C-alpha cells in the first residue's frame, strides 16, 4: 500500500469527484460518537461519571469504575448494521456521507463493515491511518484499503440490487436528525449543580471507658452532584475526603495513638482504607497527622457512587480500641 499513487486517469478523476470531503467525514464521525456517548450516559444510571467519545478506532464511549451495560453495545451494533446495509449511519445520513465498495459503489454488508471497524485499530497507531487518508488521492485509511471501501457522498451510492440510488427520502433524513439531536442532547449537559455537605459528625460508640478519653469525629467534603441532559437527571454522590478527630488537648500526650478508617460502597465493597498513627512526646508531634488535640485523616480521594457509602473510623490508644465511629450515607442518616 502506497500513500500517494500516480496522477489519476480521466475515469479515475470521475470516480474521485464523488468522494466525501475529509471535513464531512470528521463531522459525521463526531455526530455518531456523540450519539453513542449519549446512549451510554442514558443507560449508565446514577453514580457514573459522564462518558464522552474516547477513541477513533474503538466504540466511542466508556463506562468508568469498571461498569458495563449492554445498551451502548446494542446501539453500536445497530449503527454498524445500518452502515453495512445502507452505507450510512444517522451521522453520515445528515452529512450526506456513505461507506461503499470501492468498485461497485454499493453498500458492503455488515461483515465487511465490522472488519473495517476492527481495522481502524491499525489506523489508530500514531494516527498513521488518518494521516494516510489526508494524503491518499482516494482519501482511504488503511481500514478502507483492507476492506476495499470508499467514503463517498450519498448521491454516489448504488443500491445493493444494482439500481441507481434515488433522491433521499425526507422522512429518513428527518428520522436521522431526530436520533442525532437526541444523542447530542444526552451527551452534553445543559445544567449541573454541586452541593458540598457541611462537616458531619460521626456516631461514635465508646468501647473502653477505662481509657479515659472522650473523642469525637467528623467527616468533611462529601459532595452531591446533579446533572441534567434533556429531560434526564442523574445524581452522583462522592465519598468524603477527610475525617477529623478531636479530643481534649494533651489528653493523649505520651500515648500511642492509631486511627484506622475505611469507606465501603455496597456495590463495590471496600473503596478506601487509611491508617495513621502518632505518639511522640509533647509539646508537639511535627509532621504527624496526630496532634495534641486531635488528628486529621486524609482519605485517598473521592469517587462517585450511586448507592451511598459507609465510613468507619476506629481510634486506638495504647492498642486498645476506645472509640468506634460510623457514618452511613446510604439512607441519608447517621448510624451507629
- Is 174 a domain residue? yes
In a domain, 256, yes or no: yes
Tens of pLDDT, residue by residue over 45-59, are 665 555 544 444 344
The answer to whether residues 96 and 133 belong to one domain is yes
* Structure confidence at residue 99 (pLDDT): 92
Domain boundary among 159, 187, 215: 187
Residue 229: which CATH number?
Answer: 2.60.40
Cα separation, 104 vs 241, in Å, equals: 61
pLDDT > 80? residue 133: yes
Lowest-confidence region among 227-231, 270-274, 329-333: 329-333
Question: Of 220, 219, 215, which is closest to residue 326 (Cα–Cα)?
Answer: 219
Question: 332 or 114: which carries more pLDDT confidence?
Answer: 114
Residues 203 and 271 in one domain: yes
- In Å, how far are 132, 146, 165 from 1, measured between CA atoms? 10, 10, 31
Which pLDDT score is estimated for 148?
A: 93
Confirm whether 36 is domain-assigned. yes
Quick check: is 334 in a domain? no
pLDDT band at 18 (very low <50, low <70, confident <90, very high): confident
In a domain? residue 80 = yes
Of the listed ranges 146-155, 171-180, 202-211, 219-228, the one predicted with least confidence: 202-211
Q: pLDDT digits over 276-296, tens only?
A: 887 655 545 556 788 888 889
State residue 253's pLDDT score: 81
Mean pLDDT for 84-104 is: 90
Grid coordinates representing 320 are: 486498645
The answer to whether residue 336 sits within a structural domain is: no
Q: What mean pLDDT, rounded, does the chain reach?
A: 78
- 172 and 294 assigned to the same domain: no
Let me know if residue 2 belongs to a domain.
no
161 and 203 fall within a common domain:
no
Pair 195, 237 in one domain: yes
pLDDT digits (tens, 9 = 90+) for 23-80: 999 899 889 888 888 887 887 766 555 554 444 434 444 455 555 567 777 888 888 8
The verdict on 27 and 167 lying in the same domain is yes
Shared domain check, 178 and 51: yes
Residues 177 and 31 in one domain: yes
pLDDT at 16: 64
93, 220: one domain: no
Mean pLDDT of 109-131: 87
Is 258 within 8 Å of 288 (Cβ atoms)? no
Assign 22 a pLDDT band (cuts: 50, 70, 90): confident
Task: Say whether both 168 and 239 belong to one domain.
Answer: no
Query: What average pLDDT does this structure show over 79-106?
Result: 89
What pLDDT sits at residue 111? 93
**Residue 335 maps to a domain:** no
Last residue of a domain, one of 126, 156, 187: 187
Domain boundary among 155, 187, 219: 187
Number of domains in the chain: 2
The reply to whether 121 and 215 lie within a common domain is no
Q: Identify the domain containing residue 54 by its residue range.
A: 10-187
137-190 residue pLDDT tens: 888 989 999 999 999 987 666 665 655 555 556 677 788 899 999 988 988 888
pLDDT over 70 (residue 116): yes
Residue that wins the pLDDT comparison between 199 and 212: 199
In this structure, are 235 and 291 located in the same domain? yes
Model confidence band, residue 261 (pLDDT cutoffs 50, 70, 90):
very high
Amino acid at each position: 500500500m502506497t500513500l500517494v499513487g500516480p496522477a489519476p486517469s480521466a475515469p479515475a478523476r470521475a470516480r474521485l469527484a464523488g468522494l466525501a470531503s475529509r471535513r464531512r467525514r470528521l463531522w459525521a464521525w463526531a455526530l455518531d460518537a456523540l450519539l453513542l456517548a449519549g446512549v451510554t450516559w442514558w443507560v449508565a444510571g446514577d453514580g457514573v461519571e459522564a462518558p464522552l467519545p474516547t477513541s477513533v478506532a474503538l466504540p466511542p464511549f466508556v463506562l468508568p469504575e469498571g461498569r458495563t451495560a449492554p445498551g451502548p453495545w446494542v446501539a453500536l451494533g445497530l449503527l454498524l448494521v445500518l452502515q453495512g446495509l445502507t452505507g450510512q449511519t444517522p451521522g453520515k445520513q445528515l452529512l450526506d456521507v456513505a461507506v461503499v465498495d470501492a468498485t461497485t459503489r454499493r453498500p458492503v454488508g455488515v461483515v465487511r463493515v465490522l472488519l473495517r471497524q476492527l481495522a481502524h485499530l491499525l489506523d489508530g497507531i500514531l494516527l498513521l491511518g488518518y494521516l494516510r487518508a489526508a494524503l491518499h488521492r482516494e482519501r482511504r485509511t488503511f481500514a478502507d484499503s483492507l476492506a476495499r471501501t470508499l467514503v463517498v457522498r450519498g448521491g454516489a451510492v448504488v443500491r445493493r440490487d444494482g439500481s441507481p440510488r434515488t433522491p433521499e427520502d425526507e422522512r429518513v433524513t428527518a428520522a436521522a436528525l431526530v436520533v442525532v439531536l437526541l444523542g447530542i442532547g444526552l451527551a452534553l449537559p445543559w445544567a449541573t449543580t454541586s452541593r458540598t455537605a457541611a462537616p458531619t459528625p460521626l456516631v461514635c460508640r465508646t468501647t473502653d471507658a477505662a481509657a479515659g478519653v472522650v473523642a469525637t469525629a467528623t467527616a468533611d467534603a462529601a459532595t452531591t452532584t446533579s446533572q441534567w441532559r434533556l429531560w434526564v437527571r442523574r445524581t452522583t454522590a462522592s465519598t468524603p475526603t477527610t475525617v477529623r478527630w478531636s479530643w481534649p488537648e494533651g489528653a493523649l500526650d505520651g500515648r500511642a495513638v492509631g486511627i484506622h478508617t475505611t469507606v465501603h460502597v455496597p456495590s463495590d465493597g471496600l473503596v478506601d482504607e487509611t491508617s495513621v498513627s502518632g505518639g511522640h512526646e509533647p509539646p508537639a508531634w511535627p509532621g504527624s497527622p496526630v496532634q495534641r488535640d486531635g488528628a486529621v485523616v486524609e482519605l485517598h480521594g473521592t469517587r462517585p457512587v450511586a448507592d451511598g457509602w459507609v465510613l468507619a473510623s476506629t481510634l486506638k490508644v495504647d492498642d486498645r480500641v476506645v472509640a468506634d465511629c460510623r457514618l452511613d450515607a446510604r439512607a441519608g442518616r447517621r448510624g451507629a
